[in-house]
Structure 1
Amino acid sequence: MRFGRSGAGNATLLFNSQGRLLETIRNYNAPSPLFLGVAYSFVIGILAIAGQVFIPDFARQGLDLIDSFFIYVLVAQFTHLGWVHLSLNLAGLTIVAWGFSNHRSHREWLFVQLLSLLWLAFYLSWIEPVQWYCGLSGALHFQFAACLLLALHRTQNKLALAWPLWVLAAGLIAKLILEWNSGPTTDSLVGGPIAFEAHRGGALGGVLFGLAMIGRSLRLKQNPTS
Structure 2
Amino acid sequence: MPQSIIQSKFFLIVVCAFISAVLQIFQPDFIYLKSKIWFEAWRLWTGHWVHVGWIHYLLNMLAFACLPYIFPQIKNKTYFCLLMIIAPLLSLTFYFIYPEIQAYAGLSGVLHGLYIFAAIIYFDQKNERKFALLVIVLVVIKIAWEQKFGQLGTAKLIGSPVLVQAHLWGVIWASIIAVSYLFYKHKQLKMNG
What TM-score comes out, normalization by structure 2 length? 0.83
Aligned to 2:121, which of 118, 130, 150?
Answer: 150
Match of 1:6? none
Match of 1:88? 59
- 1:62 CA drift (Å): 5.2
2:119 is the counterpart of 1:119? no
Mark the CA change 1:32 to 1:115 in structure 2 (over 3 Å): closer, same or farther. farther
Amino acid at match of 1:222: K
Amino acid at match of 1:164: F
Q: Distance in 2 between matches of 1:208 and 1:99?
A: 21
Summarize the alignment of residues 44-59 of structure 1 with structure 2, pairs less than 5 Å apart. Answer: 44-53=16-25, 55-58=26-29
**Higher radius of gyration, 1 or 2:** 1
Q: Which runs of 5+ in 2 are unaligned?
A: none
Match of 2:43? 72
- 1:39 CA drift (Å): 3.0
Identity %: 16
Q: Distance in 1 between matches of 2:155 and 2:68?
A: 25
Match of 1:17? none
Mark the CA change 1:106 to 1:188 in structure 2 (over 3 Å): closer, same or farther. closer
Mark the CA change 1:60 to 1:153 in structure 2 (over 3 Å): closer, same or farther. closer
Q: Which runs of 5+ in 1 are unaligned?
A: 1-30
**Aligned length, in residue pairs:** 188
Match of 2:160? 192
Q: Distance in 1 between matches of 2:7 and 2:44?
A: 29
Match of 1:9? none
Given that residues 76 and 133 in structure 1 are in contact (C-alpha distance below 8 angstroms), is that contact kept between their aligned partners in structure 2? yes
Given that residues 138 and 199 in structure 1 are in contact (C-alpha distance below 8 angstroms), is that contact kept between their aligned partners in structure 2? yes
Match of 2:14? 42
- 1:67 CA drift (Å): 4.8
Q: Distance in 1 between matches of 2:34 and 2:91?
A: 14
Given that residues 81 and 190 in structure 1 are in contact (C-alpha distance below 8 angstroms), is that contact kept between their aligned partners in structure 2? yes
Q: Distance in 2 between matches of 1:32 and 1:101?
A: 12
Given that residues 37 and 109 in structure 1 are in contact (C-alpha distance below 8 angstroms), is that contact kept between their aligned partners in structure 2? no
Q: Distance in 2 between matches of 1:56 and 1:219?
A: 43
CA RMSD of aligned residues (A): 2.7
Mark the CA change 1:197 to 1:223 in structure 2 (over 3 Å): closer, same or farther. same
Q: Distance in 2 between matches of 1:179 and 1:70?
A: 29
| SS in structure 2 of the partner of residue 148 of structure 1 | helix
Amino acid at match of 1:110: F
Match of 1:169? 136
Given that residues 33 and 106 in structure 1 are in contact (C-alpha distance below 8 angstroms), is that contact kept between their aligned partners in structure 2? no
